[in-house]
Structures are given as C-alpha cells and as structure tokens.
Amino acid sequence: MAANTPMMQQYLKIKAEYQDAFLFFRLGDFYEMFFEDAVSASQELEITLTSRGGSEDRIPMCGIPYHSAASYIDVLIERGYKVAICEQTEDPKQAKGVVRREVVQLITPGTKMDGKGMDEKENNYIASITDFFDGTFGFVYADLTTGECKVTITNGSFDSMFNELAIVGAKEVVLAANFQEDRQKQLKDRGVSALSFEDQIDVNDQFANLLTKVQNQKSIKTASRLMHYLFRTQKRSLDHLQNVQSYETDHYMKLDYYSKLNLELTETIRGKGKKGSLLWLLDETKTAMGGRMLKQWIDRPLIDRTQIGHRSNLVETLIGHYFERQDLRERLKEVYDLERLAGRVAFGNVNARDLIQLKRSLQQLPHIRDIIESIENEDMASLSEEIDPCEGLTDLLETSLVDHPPLSIKEGNFIQDGFHAELDTYRDASRNGKTWIATLEREEREKTGIKSLKIGYNRVFGYYIEVTRANLQNLDDTRYERKQTLSNAERFITPELKEKEALILQAEENSIRLEYDLFMGIRERVKEFIPRLQALAKTVSELDVLQCFATISEERHYVKPIFSEERKIVLKNGRHPVVEKVLQSQEYVPNDCFMDAEREVLLITGPNMSGKSTYMRQIALTSIMAQIGCYVPADEAELPIFDKVFTRIGAADDLISGQSTFMVEMLEARNAITNATADSLILFDEIGRGTSTYDGMALAQAIIEYIHGEIGAKTLFSTHYHELTVLAEELPKLKNIHVSAVEQNGHVVFLHKIKEGPADKSYGIHVAKLAQLPEALINRANVILSQLEQGNSLVVPQAASSEIVYETNIQHKQEEENEAQLSFFEQALPPEEKGSSSKEIKVLEDLKKVEILDMTPLDALNMLYKLQKKLK
C-alpha cells in the first residue's frame, strides 16, 4: 500500500471496508473503479477497461460520468451486486493534500429506492433471519421505499422460515456472520440476490423509537439486526421508517412455497410472469400502493371470520353503488404513490415534480371522502373518517411550487412568485434589470441635462455612467464617483447604480441558491406529515383493493361466499377464475363440488387433459379468494375457513436441490401429512406416478388411508390407478368422482364435467393421438393395449415392414409363450413358483380336487364363489 500514491492509498483503505461491493470512487466528474472492481465492472457494464500507473505495475481502471451513474447502478443492482458510493466530502480548494472522501451510501438489491428495474406494484423487501439455536428463528422484513417493517418468530424447521421468505420475496437477506453455510447456500439457490452480514443486535438510540410496539425480546433482537444494517449502510435520514409491527403466522392461512407456486397465485409456473396468475386476474387497482396491498392480501389470506366478513361486506356495498364506484375509480387514477413519495421525502431524493404529484394526490382526497360519505353504510362511514386530506400540506404545496417545475432542484424556477419576498426581489432584478437601467438612464439625462449620457456594462468594470469630456462641466452632481477615465470620456458610478449592479449581477445566482434553500425548508415541513401520509396511504390502498374486488366480482358474475361452521363445501357451477378469463370466447364448463363430514376425501379419476387438475385448483383458488374478502366464481358458494392449503400438482425435478420428481412428490406429501389439520385443504395430483407401478400404487393407497383415518382434512386426490377406486368400499368418508369423456367415431371428446363414481377408461392413447404422435406408433399402441387387456403379460415386438422398430429385451422363448398376468398385485415368488402367487396356487390346487361332473349347477356356482373370494 505504501508504494501507491496518496490517492490510491485512500482508495484501498475505503475499499477494504466494502469488499463485497463495487466502490464508485469520485474523481472530479467521474466515478472511477480500480483493480478487480474495474475488471468486473467493465465486463458487466460493457465499458472500456483502461489502466494507470507505471509501465511495470499498471492498475486496471474504468470510469463512468457521475451525472449518468444511475443507469449503470441499476444494471449492477439488478444482477445482484452492491454499489458503495464514495463522494468528495471536502472542497478541493480548501483541501490540504488529498481531498477527503467517504462512502455516503451503500446501494444493494434490498435498499434500492428507485430505478428502472423497480415495479411500482411490487414491494422491494430486504429481510433478516436470526437463528436462536433453540428451534426458533426470527424473521423481519422491511421495504425501504415505503417504510413498512414487520417481524415474527417461527418454531420448527428452517423450511418454515424459508416459506416466510418466499412469501415476501426479499431480494437481500441480512444474516449473522456465523450463520450456517449450507443454509446460506440454500438461500442463494432459492433466488436471494444478495446476502449481507450484521452482528449487532442491541437496541440503538437511532431506532429505539421504532421498536416500542414490539414486546418479545427475540423479536426485538431480530429487528435490531436489520435496523443496524440499514442505518449503517444508508448514512442518511430514515425518518419514514414506520414502527416495527409484530405478526403471527398462525393468524393467516398458511401456504407453503410449493403450494403458492402450484396454484400460480402471483406468478405462473412456466413463464414466471404475472400474466396468467390469480394476481393478474384480480388486479383492477388504480394506484401503485393498491396493487402492492392486493399482492399482500393474496400472499396472506385471512382466517378470522370477522375480518373476512368486514372486507366482504364492503365489497358488497361497493357492488351495490355502481356510479359512486365508477367515480371513485376515476379519482383514484389521479392519486400517486403516497407511500413511496413519503419515503423519497425522508430519504432526501425527492424533487419538485415529486411534490407536485403529492399535491395533486392530496387534492383528490376531499372528493374521494365525499364519494365514500355519500354511500350510506356504517363500514363505509368508518372508512371515510380515516381519510385525512392533510389540508395544511396541500396549502403549502399549492402556494409554494409552480405546476410544471424542472426536473432538477438546482436549476431554479420552481418556487412560485409571492412565496418569498427576497426571492421576488432577485427575480425582479434578474427579469427587469434592463428595463430598470433604461429608466435610470432617462432619469439621469433629465437631472443633468446631458443628452449624450449613457449607461453601459462590461465584464471588468460592471455597470457605469459614461459622460463625454465636452459635457463634464455640466456635471456637478456629487453622487457621481469616478470609475474609469477614457481618452474622450469619463465613466462614473452612483450609489444607486452600485446597489442595483450587485442585485442584477448576483440575482440569478442568488435566486437559484435561495430557491434550493427554500425547497429544503419545504421538504422539512413535508417530513412532519410523513406519519399522516403513511396512514392515509393504507386507507386509500384498502379502498382501492376493495373497489377492485367489487369491479371484478360484478364483471365476471362472482357470488358472495357463505362460511360454513360445519366444514361443508358447497359450490354450484364453480369455475377456475383464471382459465375462465383466458378462454374468453370459448364456453367454460362449470362444475359442482360437495363435501361434508361424510364426504371428506374425493378420489378423482378420468383421462389426461380432461380437467382433473383444473378442477382441483379451482377449489383452492375459490377458497383463497373467499378468505381475502373477494367474491368467488360460482353460482352458489358455501365454504369452510381453511387454516392451511397444501398442494402436490404437476411433475418436475428440482434441479437446484438435485431432487428427482418422485423425491419432490414425497417431500411435498410429507409436508402436507405432517402439518395438515382437520381444517386444512389438501390437493394431491397423481401421487406415486414418479416410481414403479406397484410402489406408486401402494404409496398412494397408504397416503389416502392415512389422511382419511388420521388427519380428516378435506382432500382432493386425483389418480390414474383405477384400482384405488375400490377404496370407497372400505373408507366411509371417501367418494369416487370422475371427469367424463366419450368416444365418437374413434375419437375421444372431453366433456370436462365432474360426475359421481369412478371413470371407466383412461383414454391415454387417444390423448397421444391428439398430440399428433406418428400414426404407426398409435396403431401399434392399440394392438399392445388390446393384447394386454386380454391378459398377456408380454407383447412380442413387431419386427418389420414398418419403418418404426420397437426394441425391447426379448426374454427366452419359453418365458414368452402363454405367460398370463394373473394379478395386477402379483407378489415376488421363488423361481419354482414364478408366474403365480401362493394364494392363487392354493386355489388352483383346490380346483384340481373338485369333481365337476359330480356337482349340481348350484354346487358349482357356490364353489366358484368360494374360489373367487379366496382370490380376492
């Protein structure tokens, strides 16, 4: 380090404190990067890599203009990097040696305040996890753009903590330095952009006031870790941070990571986009903050009957007042993002245009309140009382700022005339300087009688009064002070001109400086309203989501659900809300669902593509919609309140964790079986298909029996194992239903209609035909199916004329001939008994002993019955 220049020594010293971040080191009008930062940044940002220093020891470097740094920072943050902004904190003219520089902000994926990569309807959360090494974890998350902050303590495995993290979708997680490395890797594998570290968990005076509503000591320590990190890295005012709120995960419907993914609540499985999800269907919000609240409600459906009823009743009221709702929607369009505007005010990066947006938003509030008050409803009345128009703030912004200010607050011309007397004076001097000079010139000519007297200006001497030598004898005014002598004239200055000169010359500079100071004062006054603005934002957001539910429910003919205390599901003509919207012009086939105390498990059979998975999903989505307060897609709906929803739908390997399809199946099944209660909803789609037929069927039956006998949760279980349908005879609360299909002229027609009883066929080859597999292949499959249905256990491959050659391991000819599959549940046997089970061999032996010719027809029938009973 000693071999480097003083400036490079300064750089290396600062960089040592920010090893995991790109250090943007301010040199004049550029942010420079050196060494590894320069090499990496040149590749990520596609900028030129240069170098500095001697020829023997060149230092890699690259730089970007400071005025365009924001776009480059956005790129790095989107890719999961951190950026430390190092500014000059000393005037170079006053510096003795190297100019003092300090990091003024650390920008990370979780602390980004604005930029192109931010979705206005998405929160940008940063989270922190604390392991207390006693089976409990602390979890806290905050959105620096809105000031929201919540904390909880979870009991159980790390998976439960991960589920909370998955719900909030935090891009950055703050951990203790000794946090387990395997769990750090798990977090990175699951999509966390950045891991950061903070060991301080004691309460600091900087944020002690934010923890007044948190009582649990573990929660206080958990929240303190995150607060230490935020205050240490941001190095600026965080006055907009709201009081940390404690919450209990048991107060909401629990949806694990896989269930949320399988049901496509906020994003689709394939495209990972919003379109095609439940959020996409429901989002008719008119404000950005309303859109964020809608997503939060979907992520955490309610389980409290009173809270659900409150929301549902408000939706019903808005449905009944169409014109008021339409007027409300128009007004909400003009309301900007109050939460993030308040955050920008506190953070210090608000500009005049932001405050104009705030003013226009506040101007809509009295109209919104009038609309709500015009609806005669007790719940609406209480909501209108929470709408605080902040008249004092509105008045301040209306009288201080022009309607169309420039983007920068360092250019001036954004404060209204009449707001500040000194500023008006500067502006008057700047705008009317020439007029004033011309007037003064005319007045001086009249006073002196010198018609050739003129007032001029140059950069060296400023303003002056010029009198020719021929007229000097006529000048006896004592106010005139000689300033410059020319060959044929003298130049003078008067006290009045001297005073105006200073005003005119410095007017523009002083005007810009004063406007900036006045804006800082306005911003400080706006800060005082931040708590009121945040409370107002919550009310407006709630109102926005409720009108959104009302609009969707009316347009799509949804119905208000009734909540059953007897754990009944009664859905008449229920629909999958998203599929129904996607189909649009096509007619959607609705289906009923009925489940009660005597009908806890529905075993669903039917061909592929017939709609089994869609039917299962629509039951879950209907329940979730009901529990967030929305109407549901049905003609009639009675539902229980579910505490948890578990799903196993779809087949996919978890490549990140190195787990096969079957292992993923088993892990999701275990999660449901170990955590479900009688008040839960379980959806299992073809469990067991990822392994061999016998293993899969055995596991599927065991799972059904366990849920039926031990848990008692409402369960929908789809399967292609038609043999499982006999369970309805043994399990009293299990019922068979199927999705119907018919054959017409050799083609299958899916009716998509749920009917009672088991399905009669699978129609798998018909589905393959729809997928346009080669005709020769389809024909061969039909031949094989026909022979298998006749009882042949092995079908000889066809050799030959066909271009398609089916290869298989051909067993010895002796094993091929007439080998019958006697039972689907064939057991493993010693070699001498291969082909028959011990039970079947005993039946055959009994049959050999029977003298059929000596038996009457009735005796033969009884004997056949006994033999068949033994086989079963």
DSSP structural state of residue 772:
T
Which residue is associated with the tokens 């002056």?
464
Structure confidence at residue 686 (pLDDT): 83
Same domain, 695 and 832: no
- Could you tell me if 71 and 87 are in contact, meaning their C-beta atoms sit under 8 angstroms apart? no
The SS3 call for residue 76 is helix
> Is 607 among the annotated ligand-binding positions?
yes
How far is 558 from 635, CA to CA, in rounded Å? Answer: 7
Give the pLDDT mean for 236-248: 91
Among 335, 387, 328, 391, which residue's Cα sits nearest to residue 358?
335
User: Does 675 carry a binding-site annotation?
Assistant: no
Over residues 465-509, the pLDDT tens digits come to 999 998 988 887 778 999 999 989 999 999 888 888 877 878 878
The two structure tokens encoding residue 546: 């409720």
Q: pLDDT-derived band of residue 797, with 50, 70 and 90 as boundaries?
A: low
Residue 71 forms part of a structural domain? yes
- Kindly report the CA angle at 727 between 722 and 730, in degrees rounded to 5? 160
pLDDT digits (tens, 9 = 90+) for 84-133: 999 998 888 888 888 899 999 999 999 998 766 678 899 999 999 999 98
* Number of structural domains the chain divides into: 6
- Answer whether 287's CB lies under 8 Å from 544's CB: yes
Lowest mean pLDDT among 61-75, 410-424, 820-834: 820-834
Q: Is the same domain home to 143 and 66? A: no
Question: Do residue 100 and residue 130 come from a single domain?
Answer: no
**What is the average per-residue pLDDT within 742-747?**
69
Instruction: Check whether 633 is labelled as a binding-site residue.
Output: no
* pLDDT mean over 277-288: 95
Give the per-residue pLDDT at 365: 95
386 with 425, same domain: the answer is: no
Q: Mention every residue, 6+ apart, whose C-beta is less than 8 A from residue 240.
A: 146, 147, 342, 343, 345, 346, 347, 530, 534
Residue 824: pLDDT band by 50, 70, 90 thresholds? Answer: very low
DSSP for 533-590, please give it: HHHHHHHHHHHHHHHHHHHHHHHTT-B--EE-SS--EEEEEE--HHHHHHHTTSPP--
pLDDT at 298 over 80: yes
Question: 661-690: b or e for each residue (b if 16 or more CB lie within 10 Å)?
Answer: ebebbbebbebbbebbeeebbbbbbbbbbb
Query: Is 396 a domain residue?
Result: no
The first and second tokens of residue 550, run together, are 């009302």
> How does pLDDT run across 344-383, given as a tens digit for each residue?
998 888 999 999 999 999 999 999 999 999 998 888 988 9
The residue among 150 and 261 whose pLDDT is bigger is 150
Residue 275 in this model has a pLDDT that exceeds 80: yes
What are the residues whose beta carbons fall under 8 Å from the beta carbon of 830, sequence distance 6 or more? none
Q: List Cα–Cα distances, 650 to 163, 272, 665, in angstroms.
A: 19, 15, 9
Same domain for 544 and 567, yes or no, is no
Mean pLDDT, residues 816-838 taken together: 44
| 103 is a domain residue | yes
CATH code of residue 324: 1.10.1420.10
pLDDT tier for residue 654 given thresholds of 50, 70 and 90: very low
Q: Based on the domain organization, do 496 and 566 belong to the same domain?
A: no
Place of tokens 């008692």: 712
Q: Has residue 825 got a pLDDT over 50?
A: no
Who wins on pLDDT, 367 or 759? 367
Question: Quick check: is 705 in a domain?
Answer: yes
Model confidence at 813, pLDDT cuts 50, 70, 90, reads very low
Place of tokens 């009316």: 554
Burial class (CB in 10 A: 0-12, 13-18, 19+), 44: middle
Name the E strands within 596-635: 601-605
Please name the helix (run of DSSP H) or strand (run of DSSP E) that holds residue 776, with its range, or none: helix 775-789
Do 437 and 327 lie in one domain? The reply is no
> Do 727 and 578 share a structural domain?
yes
608 appears as a binding residue in the annotation: yes
CB 122 within 8 A of CB 295: yes
Q: Residue range 315-336: average pLDDT?
A: 96
- The answer to whether residues 741 and 610 touch, using CB atoms and an 8 Å cutoff, is yes
Residues 632 and 578 in one domain: yes
Q: What is the CATH number of the domain that holds 592?
A: 3.40.50.300
* Residue finishing a domain among 726, 751, 770: 770
What would the two tokens of residue 684 be?
Answer: 């299992």
Residue 77 has pLDDT above 60, yes or no: yes
pLDDT band, residue 692 (cuts 50/70/90): low
Residue 609, pLDDT > 70, answer yes
Name the nearest CA neighbour of 316 among 626, 549, 623.
Answer: 549
Query: Is the per-residue pLDDT at 710 higher than 70?
Result: yes
Q: Write down the pLDDT at residue 826.
A: 40
Mean pLDDT of 375-397: 91
CB atoms within 10 A of CB 420: 18
Residues 232 and 85 in one domain: no
537 φ, ψ to 5°?
Answer: -60, -40
The model's pTM is 0.81
Alpha-carbon gap, residue 728 to 691, rounded angstroms: 24
Give the residue carrying structure tokens 């004329």: 801
Q: Let me know if residue 120 belongs to a domain.
A: no
Whether 692 has a binding-site annotation, put simply, is: no
Which helix H or strand E contains 592, and what residues bound it?
A: strand 591-595
Q: Which of 445-459, 625-639, 692-706 reaches the highest mean pLDDT?
A: 625-639
The pLDDT assigned to 64 comes to 94
Question: With bands split at pLDDT 50, 70 and 90, how would you rate the model's confidence at 840?
Answer: confident
CATH code (residue 92): 3.40.1170.10
Position 822 in a domain: no
In a domain, 777, yes or no: no
Tokens 């596609």 locate to 46
Cα–Cα dist 648/258, whole Å: 8
The residue type at 262: N
Domain-located, residue 399 = no
Annotated ligand binding at 671? The verdict is: no
pLDDT surpasses 60 at 820:
no
**610 marked as part of a ligand binding site:** yes
What is the model's pLDDT at position 809?
Answer: 38
DSSP per residue, 202-244: S--TTTGGGGTT---HHHHHHHHHHHHHHHHHH-S--TTPPPP
Q: Which range marks the domain in which residue 195 is found?
A: 125-251
The 3-state DSSP class for residue 300 equals coil
Q: What is the CA radius of gyration of the chain?
A: 39
The pLDDT tens digits for 416-469 are 999 999 999 888 887 888 788 888 899 889 988 899 999 998 878 888 999 999
Distance between CA atoms of 142 and 150, rounded to whole angstroms?
7
pLDDT beyond 70 at 179:
yes
The verdict on 760 and 705 lying in the same domain is yes
Q: Are 539 and 338 in contact (CB under 8 A)?
A: no
Q: Looking at the structure, do residues 242 and 141 belong to the same domain, yes or no? A: yes
Question: Could you tell me the two tokens for 80?
Answer: 């999961």
611 assigned to a ligand binding site: yes
Q: Among residues 202, 228, 251, which one ends one of the domains? A: 251
Per-residue pLDDT, averaged over 254-269, amounts to 89
Which two structure tokens, joined as six digits, stand for 381?
Answer: 């009345």
Average pLDDT over residues 556-567: 94
Cα 828 to Cα 344, 697, 835, 836, 839, distances in angstroms: 72, 16, 9, 9, 12
Nearest to 123 by CA among 142, 106, 140: 142
Say if residue 15's pLDDT is above 90: yes
